[in-house]
Structure 1
Amino acid sequence: MLEPAPGGTAVIDGSYRRADTAVLSQWGRGTAGLVVLVAVALAVLEVQWVDGPSTTFLLGTAVTVGVVGTVLLGTVVRARHAAGNQPFTLATWVTVTRGAAVAVLAGFVLASAPPVSDGGPIGWLPVGLFAVAAGLDAIDGPIARATDAETELGARLDVEMDGLVVLVGTLVAVGENALPAAFLAVAVARHAFVAGTWLRARRGRPVRELPPNGFRRPLGALAMVAVAVALVPIVDPSVSRLVGTAVAVPFLLNFTWDWLAVTGRVSPD
């Protein structure tokens, strides 16, 4: 019978403590960067916005900073569990910047932007923030590949930001009646999918591998386009709602097919 090495428990405990410290340190740096970026954006808004950001606007932003920080912590933990130590790269900071843009955009969930005729450039701010949050998605990946710094953390965080970008943008657009309320199903589809598969696995029910699907990425891109169109202040809401409906129907049908495939109800072949 093998005896445990002297001090073995201490070594194990020490390694856990180092891992926990590394996670908290990485999360702390990322969250601090997020807070600084949001604070700079709000300082600029304070100068440019005649009436300044309202209390409800700041509340929406603060809550979303907390949400993004929580998502960042969970992503760091899962990435470390899956692939060990994961560095914060330049590409990861670009993704954090997407989170900062989403947090400021979330202020408009509770406080409407002034009309372009009254507020000037501020009326364009929601679509501008959405464009930054969505557009940087096309940059972080190439940066990671160009710097040979592709990481599990970066890949996972990028996916999480995609979901938050669409969710917050949709909430703003639906609040302005620029998208139908049914489009919220598109915004929460990924979150519902993840929660559903987790719950099935938790209950011991089969969860199959998600099969390849050539429609998934184009439809995801179209969902972002539909939200962007809805946030443009000069687009008639009747037009943006029509665009949103035209995107939501095939998106949700494809999502339903993916769900049936992973739950074994249909064959992916």
Structure 2
Amino acid sequence: MSEAVRRRTGRTPRAVVAWAVAGLVALATGAAVLTAGVAPDTAGVWLLPAAVVVAWEWWFLTGNVDANHPTDAPDARRDGLGLANGVTLGRGLLYAGVAGFLLTGSLNGAWAWAPALLYGAGAALDAVDGAIARHVGSQTVLGERLDMGVDTLGFLVAPLVGVAWGRIPVWYLALSAARYLFKFGRWQRQRRGLAVYDLPDSRVRRPLAGLQMAFIAVALAPVLPVAIVEYLAAVVVTPSLLVFARDYLAVAGHVGGSDGGDEEDNGEDDEAVERVDAAGDD
């Protein structure tokens, strides 16, 4: 749990504890279903990476729970996580389920659909959490960070499973790495005292995000031949990588659209940097 919350409340928020319990229940349920439907050994192999992802989500949530306040009201911290954040964290559990199949090897029969269905469900809910937050007026800094973190998590674990199962070409992982390379390059400029400019607005990041989500879900499903999936991967990954390159040149001041430069180091909380990832968050 974050130091700020401990100093302020002296205890872990009940909603955070409730989510931890939900994560443990989800892991136990997934392992039990795999034990009954496939084999105990498969369930054990699935459980390890799934548990690692759930542990990371717990760490991320507790480290950011003190940001559970509206953007313009940092002192108005909320005790409950709210429905929108609950949906986002549910997406995180679905992606943890996907991650579990990283070491199982490809499965047969109906189980071959499991990664695609879990990831597809999480991707479909991507539009739901934001819509709920806007509808009920519960948008918070925590919600924004959770949404970005879970999106990035999905764009990492699902392609990894696709590669492990032989459904997605390994070079597609360049898209997963691009966000971290972007942040590393920006950090290097800050460390060297070079100017770091504002990220330009883009009308293509969100559509490209939806395109990537749809591609990953389709690629994981045992429907299209691998040769066709490889062709589609090349088609969808190219524009996203070009946008990453354009954005880095913009924050470095090498191309236009970088008016209003900001040389301040905002670290991991820099909203503009967090929004530039494979998910195309604006």
TM-score w.r.t. structure 2 length?
A: 0.79
User: Which of 112, 117, 139 is equivalent to 2:105?
Assistant: 112
Q: Which residue is equivalent to 1:171?
A: 160
State which of 81, 84, 95 in structure 2 corresponds to 1:91.
84
Whole-angstrom distance in 2 between the partners of 1:77 and 1:191: 25
Structure 1 residues without counterparts, runs of 5 or longer: 1-14
Q: Is the 8 A contact 2:212 2:236 kept in 1?
A: yes
Is the contact made by 1:211 and 1:261 (CA closer than 8 Å) also made in structure 2? yes
Residue of structure 2 in register with 1:261 after alignment: 250
CA-atom RMSD, angstroms?
2.6
Cα displacement (A) at 1:28: 3.6
Q: CA deviation at 1:255?
A: 0.7
TM-score norm. by structure 1 comes to: 0.83
- 1:122-169 per-residue CA deviation (whole Å, 9 max, x = no partner) reads 111110110111111121111222222121111210111111111111
The answer to whether 1:161 aligns with 2:161 is no
CA deviation after TM superposition for structure 1 residue 17, in Å: 4.6
Gaps of 5+ in 2: 259-282
Q: Is the 8 A contact 1:201 1:207 kept in 2?
A: yes
CA distance in 2, matches of 1:233, 1:226: 13
Give, in whole Å, the separation in 2 of the partners of 1:238 and 1:73: 43
Q: Aligned to 1:218, which of 185, 191, 207?
A: 207
Count residues in correspondence: 251
Report whether the alignment pairs 1:57 with 2:46: yes
Q: Partner residue of 1:103?
A: 96
| Deviation of the 1:113 alpha carbon | 3.3
Distance change in 2, residues 1:20/1:209 (3 Å):
farther
AA aligned opposite 2:49: G
Residues 59 and 261 (structure 1), Cα distance of their counterparts in 2 relative to 1, 3 Å cut: same
Identify, as 1 or 2, the structure richer in helix: 1
1:76 paired residue among 62, 65, 87: 65
Corresponding residue for residue 136 of structure 2: 147
Aligned residues of 1:34 and 1:97 also touching (Cα < 8 A): no
Change (3 A) 1:21 1:203: farther
Larger Rg: 1
Match of 1:180 in 2: 169
Distance in 2 of aligned mates of 1:51 and 1:17: 42
8 Å CA contact 2:5–2:66 kept in 1: the answer is no
Distance 1:191 1:28, change over 3 A: farther
What is the CA deviation profile of residues 202-254 of structure 1, one whole-angstrom value per residue up to 9, with x for unaligned ones? 44322111110111111111111221121011221111111111111111011
Q: Shift in Å at residue 23 of structure 1?
A: 6.3
Q: 2:278 maps to which residue?
A: none
